[in-house]
Amino acid sequence: MPNPIGPHVVDDVMTHTAVAVGRDAPYKEIVALMDQWKVSALPVLEGEGRVVGVVSEADLLPKEAFRDTGPAPEDAVKAGAVRAGDLMSSPAVTVRAGASLAEAARLMARRRVKRLPVVDEIGLLEGVVSRSDLLKVFLREDGEIAAEVRHSVLGGTAATGLDVTVAEGVVTLRGTLADRALVPLLARAARAVEGVVDVRIALADPRGGGS
């Protein structure tokens, strides 16, 4: 993964070649593309590639869910739709390529979506980022995480008495620290490093006793 030191952004993990459909794409074509590409949602484009909406499995399901009962009024439009333009959710929830992974994750959680179209400054599709893409940071090697913690968290003189070890993504800061008030700040900073699963701090008594 690029950028061994420093925060990663959506562009580092997203799929740059994204499958998408136009407003007039028929229902069965949408289902077939989702099955072929193993995705749960497709951006809907118009013009030169501007994202105008997203059609997801949730948008397609009413047609089957109400096949034998008839849809409730709030579901009638989606149940009767046969084209992407009528099926899609609009406006699309999108993210920029330069957004942080944390920002994209919060957006997915808040809007309850599994995938986000990645767009440029004028709304043209650049790719797609999924939940599984955001989890790639947890594939970082322990040594890479340790190097970033040493550089970005322990780089200040206030933390020169500490060393870092990382095992299975769990960071342990061990050593002496003159100002114990820094403990929560260091823990928070270490936890913010991408790929960190948990943070443990084991301080020794600077006078020679236990922590």
pLDDT at 70: 66
Q: Comparing 167 with 181, which gets the higher pLDDT?
A: 167
pLDDT at 165: 96
pLDDT at 64: 77
181-206 residue pLDDT tens: 889 999 999 999 989 999 999 988 76
Token pair listed for 207: 């006078």
**Average pLDDT of the residues of the chain:** 88
The model's pTM is 0.75
pLDDT at 155: 84
pLDDT band at 75 (very low <50, low <70, confident <90, very high): low
Q: Measure the CA–CA gap between 104 and 92, rounded to whole angstroms.
A: 14
- List 174's β-bridge partners, or say none: 163, 202
Average pLDDT over residues 45-74: 83
The residues near 134 (Cβ < 8 Å, ≥ 6 apart) are 13, 101, 104, 105, 108
Q: Comparing 76 with 79, which gets the higher pLDDT?
A: 79
Average pLDDT over residues 12-16: 93
User: What percent of the chain has pLDDT above 70?
Assistant: 86
Q: Which long-range contacts (CB under 8 A, 24 or more apart) does 152-157 make?
A: 152/5, 152/6, 152/189, 152/193, 153/186, 153/189, 153/190, 153/193, 154/186
pLDDT at 196: 95
Q: Measure the CA–CA gap between 63 and 87, rounded to whole angstroms.
A: 10
